[in-house]
Amino acid sequence: MKIADIMDSAAPGEAGPMPVVWRRALLLVPGLVALSIGLFAVYWIASDAHAAEQAAACVVIGTPWTVYASAYAALMCGLAGFGLHFVLSRGVRRRGWVLASAWQGRVSSLTALVGWVPLATEALNIYFLYRPDPSGGVNCEGWGIIHSVLSLLT
């Protein structure tokens, strides 16, 4: 299936039922937003693993590429979902159909309405990914004393 098939499936102004191709294309919006949320979870898992590894080593370790890749991929999927909803909803209106006439259109609209929350969170994560650490990084002073005392007690 090509994009031209989706865009040219009906003549402008023709007010018949919405074709199956358009209804299926509308379901890509919730799929992209769900993928965005899944990649956001991958970002947090990778970020937490990096923080734990850094704390265990007591040194500043460079952020792995998986953290950057998952953060940017989550943001791009969220933006693609909104862009696709915008393009498809304009195409539906241009052809004289009603977006809410099919359940796929309602789901797509609801996803676009609610999906701003994860999108804003993902955009903030990109900011926090590059923000300098206000504490100055990993501070392991005092841990040597604690380990020495614990080794004497055991």
- Average model confidence (pLDDT) for the chain? 83
Question: Is 5 within a domain?
Answer: no
Identify which of 152, 30, 1, 34 has the alpha carbon closest to the alpha carbon of residue 103.
30
Task: Look up the domain containing 124 and give its range.
Answer: 17-153
Instruction: Give me the number of domains the chain comprises.
Output: 1
Q: Does residue 12 form part of some domain?
A: no
Question: Is residue 143 situated within a structural domain?
Answer: yes
pLDDT tens across 24-44, in order?
A: 999 999 999 999 999 999 999
Please check whether residue 59 lies inside any domain of the structure: yes
- Global pTM? 0.77
Helix (H, G, I), strand (E, B) or coil at 123: helix
Q: Say if 2 falls within a structural domain.
A: no
CA 81 to chain CA centroid, nearest Å: 10
For 84-135, what is each residue's pLDDT tens digit? 999 999 999 998 899 888 899 999 999 999 999 999 999 999 998 888 766 6
Q: Is residue 114 part of a domain?
A: yes
142 lies in some domain: yes
Residue 65 lies in a domain: yes
